[in-house]
Amino acid sequence: MDEVGSIDYIGKGLDLPFYRDSFHGDTMGIDLGTTRCVLSVASGKKSSTDVIPIDKSSDLCMPSAIAFVQEPPIVGKIAMRQLNIQPKSVIFDAKRAILPTTSHIQKASPYVKIDKIWPFGVCKSHEQISFTVEDSKSTDQQPEFHNFSLEDITLILLQSIKDASHETRRHAVITVPYQLEPFREFHLMKQDIEKAAKKAELKLLEIIRETDANLVYYAYKHSIEKDMNVLVVDIGGGTGILMIYEIKHGLARNIGGKRECFYGRMVDQLLFEKLQDIMKDKYGIDGDRILNKQFQLLNACQNIKHNLSTVEETEMDLSEFDPSVEGLHKITREWFENNIMEKLTLNPNTNLISGISEFSFKLEGCK
C-alpha cells in the first residue's frame, strides 16, 4: 500500500484523453461531496462510465451524513432523518468545516461554529480537524460525548460507498475542492483521505480537483482535437467555483478562477429564511416552534428544491411545525425562481454572473 503523502495531486497541468477508450479501466470515481457523495465506475477501456446507486434508498446520491445512534453508524438519507429524532448524534456537511476559519476566530479558540444550525461541535487545530457528537444514550443529567476525526468521518463514508456499490474494484480516484489549495486545511484533508482510503483497502490512484473531474467528463463526451479555452462552472451543495482552462496540445492548464460563487446551501439558507418569515407572518406560527423544528424545515427546503426541478408546484405541510395550523403552503416554481434563484444568482457577492462576465473575453472564438 502507498505511504501517506505519496499520492499524486494534479494541481497544475492536466493531461486530457483524446479518445473515449483512453481511460484507465476498472476504476471507481468518488466524489466525497460536502452535502452528497456520488460514485461512478468504469469497467474496461472501452466501456462506458456508470453512476452507481449508493444510498440505502437506492438514490444515486448519498447525503454526506452520519448518525451515531447505533453500531455501525447509519449513513446517508436515513441518517438525515435522525436529525428529527436525535439531532445531536448526527454529523452532516462535515467538509464545510475544512474551509479556512478567519484568523481572529482561530486565535480565540479552536472550537468553531461554521454553521449556526449544526447540532455537533467542531474543533480545528494545526494538526487535526475533529467533530464532537452527543451519545444517543445521553441524558440531560449525564451527557456523554464522542470525538471523531476527519479521517474517521472520511473512512465511514468511503466504507459505506464501497459496501453499497457491491464492487470488487480497488482502484479509486477522489475529488477535492479547489478552494482549499492555498490553505493548510487542504493538506490535512488530503492526508486524511489517503489514510482513510488505505484503511478501506482502496488503491488511491490520484486526488484531483472537482473542476478537473468536470473537465475530464467534458473531454470524455466531446473529443477535444484542437486548442480552446473551457469555462467550468461547478455548483455543488457546499462549494461553488468558476474555473477557466486553457487547452493546448491535449494539456489543460488553469488560467483563472472564482471561489465561493454560488452553491446549494446558499439556496437552502435563503429558502429557509423566506419560509420562516412566511410561517410567522402569514400563518402566525411562533418563532420558537419553528426554531425547535429547524431540521424539519431544512429537510422541507431540500425537498422543495428537488420537487421543483421536475414539477411546477409543490407543498409544505404546516402542521409539521404547529399542530394547531392545518393546511398546506404552496410553493410554485415561478415564486422559487423570482424570490430565491434570481436573488442569489444576480447578487454581486456570489461572484456567479460577474465571474462569467469577467471570463467571457477569454472564451471568445472558443467552444
> pLDDT tens-digit profile of 223-264?
776 788 888 888 888 778 888 888 888 788 888 777 767 788
How far is the C-alpha of 242 from the C-alpha of 340, rounded, in Å?
21
Q: Which is more confident, 99 or 364?
A: 99
pLDDT of residue 63: 93
For residues 178-195, give the mean pLDDT: 77
How far is the C-alpha of 67 from the C-alpha of 311, rounded, in Å?
31
pLDDT of residue 106: 40
With a cut of 70, say whether residue 50 has pLDDT above it: yes
Domain boundary among 153, 174, 195: 153
291 lies in a domain? Answer: yes
What CATH number has the domain bearing residue 328?
3.90.640.10
311 lies in a domain? Answer: yes
Q: What is the mean pLDDT of the chain?
A: 81
305 lies in a domain? Answer: yes
**% of the chain beyond a pLDDT of 70:** 77
What do you get for the CA distance between the two ends of the chain, in Å? 42
pLDDT of residue 256: 78
Could you tell me the three cell numbers for 273?
Answer: 429564511
24 lies in a domain? Answer: no
Domain boundary among 153, 168, 188: 153
Query: How far is CA 258 from each of CA 15, 99, 161, 233, 352, rounded to the nearest angstrom?
Result: 22, 15, 30, 10, 8
Name the helix (H) or strand (E) containing 79: helix 77-81
pLDDT of residue 327: 93
29 lies in a domain? Answer: no
8 lies in a domain? Answer: no
Which range in 182-186, 236-240, 352-356 is most confidently predicted, on average pLDDT?
Answer: 236-240
Q: Can you give the residue range of the structural domain that contains 295?
A: 264-345
For residues 15-43, give the mean pLDDT: 76
pLDDT of residue 277: 97
For residues 6-21, give the mean pLDDT: 54
Weakest-pLDDT range from 17-21, 114-118, 159-163, 351-355: 17-21
For residues 200-213, give the mean pLDDT: 89
170 lies in a domain? Answer: no
Cβ-based burial of 249 (10 A; exposed 0-12, middle 13-18, buried ≥19): exposed
64 lies in a domain? Answer: no
pLDDT of residue 9: 42
With a cut of 60, say whether residue 284 has pLDDT above it: yes
Strands 203-209 and 171-176: parallel
Domain boundary among 99, 119, 153: 153
Number of domains composing the chain: 2
pLDDT of residue 5: 45
Tens of pLDDT along 98-153? 766 544 334 444 444 557 788 898 888 777 889 999 987 766 667 789 999 999 99
pLDDT of residue 132: 93
Weakest-pLDDT range from 19-23, 138-142, 191-195, 198-202: 19-23
